[in-house]
């Protein structure tokens, strides 16, 4: 299989994962962390590893906006994309993905994303006119509200994100591993 074919297999998987956001799903159950880890782990050109999940997620945000839902939601979204970049950096260190390793990386990616995205909520809470505007909100209170069991909404946010990270990591890495077994040239070519 040619290099370009491996590139397109990885890219297609990332785009399909991103577009799965338009399907009905539990709140916050998204492929964001999994896409970033997968991209970082499998693209040989690391600049491509950073660009592809961002473009795919941007595309899904655009599609969501076109359906009338809120795909673009404010300043804190910049922190979502920043968190994705950090998780991609984590994915670039994932050598020879094995099940337990992917699980550990997905959990670590979830934690990184949780810290960065909630920091973005706090930053936006001080900007008048932003969707998250809440004068006087402290950073500590922002993180406390995001913890599971704080209230029903934080449970939905946390459990959805955590479940999505684990589910999509298993799907992306698992499907690609199966594809490598069926198409050994995926193992040896570069993307």
Rounded CA-CA distance 71/139 in Å is: 25
Query: How do the domains of the chain map onto residue ranges?
Result: 3-188
* Residue whose pair of structure tokens reads 């004068």 in the numeric block: 135
Span 52-56, mean pLDDT?
Answer: 94
**Cβ within 8 Å of residue 99, ≥6 positions away:** none
What is the value of pTM for the model shown?
A: 0.88
Q: Does residue 1 have a pLDDT over 50?
A: no
What local confidence, expressed as pLDDT, does residue 126 receive? 86
**pLDDT tens-digit profile of 68-97?**
777 667 788 899 999 999 999 999 999 889
Among 72, 2, 87, 99, residue whose Cα is nearest residue 40: 87
Q: Does residue 65 have a pLDDT over 90?
A: no
What local confidence, expressed as pLDDT, does residue 189 receive? 67
What local confidence, expressed as pLDDT, does residue 64 receive? 87
Span 175-188, mean pLDDT?
Answer: 87
Dihedral over alpha carbons 50, 190, 61, 78 (to 10 degrees): 0
**pLDDT tens-digit profile of 102-127?**
999 999 999 999 999 989 989 988 88
């Amino acid at each position: 299989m040619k290099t370009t074919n491996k590139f397109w297999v990885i890219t297609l998987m990332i785009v399909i994962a991103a577009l799965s956001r338009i399907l009905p799903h539990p709140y916050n159950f998204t492929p964001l962390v999994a896409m970033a880890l997968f991209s970082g782990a499998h693209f040989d050109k690391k600049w491509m590893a950073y660009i592809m999940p961002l473009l795919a997620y941007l595309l899904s945000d655009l599609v969501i906006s076109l359906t009338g839902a809120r795909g673009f939601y404010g300043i804190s979204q910049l922190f979502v994309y920043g968190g994705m970049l950090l998780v991609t950096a984590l994915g670039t260190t994932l050598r020879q993905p094995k099940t337990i390793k992917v699980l550990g990386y997905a959990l670590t990616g979830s934690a990184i994303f949780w810290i960065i995205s909630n920091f973005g909520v706090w930053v936006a809470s001080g900007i008048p006119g932003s969707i998250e505007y809440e004068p006087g909100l402290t950073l500590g209170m922002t993180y406390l509200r995001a913890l599971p069991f704080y209230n029903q909404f934080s449970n939905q946010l946390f459990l959805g994100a955590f479940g999505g990270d684990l589910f999509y990591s298993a799907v992306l890495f698992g499907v690609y591993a199966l594809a490598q077994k069926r198409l050994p040239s995926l193992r040896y070519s570069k993307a």
